[in-house]
């Protein structure tokens, strides 16, 4: 591996981190839960609000690293295309739920996101198992968030 390749690889990782972590946190900030969300009925398994930011920060780091790993070795393949699709869906959920107050639309978005995450794991598994494993906590959290979204829809 050449020095230039190493520098470009590190730069690419930084860009993936800025995109995933920065983008996710920016969208979270711009669509922060407000009075509307506070007034919704929530299920008993709803976690405390303070938990979401640290969990999503860690997940966005894992998402970025997985995307970077795939980009470095298989940038034109299905895993990379699916990685981009999951990021778009991920970034679409908060505006649908918190900004537009469309709980049902948000549920459709998050269920599609979960399917896309699982598709990424399945397709990345053959090319980069580390990248696939990095998405396992993400899949678990989004499955939980899907159940939470569905419960909130049912209660409201």
What is the predicted pLDDT for the residue at 3? 56
What is the predicted pLDDT for the residue at 117? 98
Question: What's the whole-model pTM score?
Answer: 0.93
Mean pLDDT computed over 139-146: 98
Q: For 25-35, write each residue's pLDDT tens digit.
A: 999 999 989 99
* Residue reference for tokens 């090319």: 127
* Residue reference for tokens 């894992």: 62
List, as one string, the DSSP characters of 15-71: HHHIIIIIHHHHHHHHT---HHHHTS---TTPPPGGGHHHHHHHHHHHHHHHHHHHH
* Angstrom distance (rounded) from CA 54 to CA 152: 22
Please answer whether residues 155 and 43 qualify as being in contact, where contact means their C-beta atoms are separated by less than 8 angstroms.
yes
> Domain 3-155 has what CATH class?
mainly alpha
Indicate whether 115 pLDDT > 60.
yes
* Angstrom distance (rounded) from CA 98 to CA 31: 6
């Amino acid at each position: 591996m050449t020095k230039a390749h190493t520098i470009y690889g590190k730069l690419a990782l930084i860009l993936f981190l800025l995109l995933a972590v920065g983008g996710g946190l920016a969208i979270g900030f711009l669509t922060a839960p407000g009075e509307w969300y506070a007034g919704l009925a929530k299920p008993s398994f709803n976690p405390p609000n303070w938990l979401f930011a640290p969990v999503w920060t860690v997940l966005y780091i894992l998402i970025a690293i997985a995307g970077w790993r795939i980009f470095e070795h298989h940038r034109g393949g299905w895993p990379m295309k699916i990685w981009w699709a999951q990021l778009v869906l991920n970034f679409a959920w908060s505006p649908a739920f918190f900004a537009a107050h469309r709980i049902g639309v948000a549920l459709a978005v998050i269920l599609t996101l979960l399917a896309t995450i699982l598709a990424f794991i399945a397709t990345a598994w053959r090319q980069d198992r580390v990248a696939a494993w990095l998405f396992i906590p993400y899949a678990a959290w989004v499955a939980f968030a899907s159940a939470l979204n569905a419960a909130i829809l049912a209660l409201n």
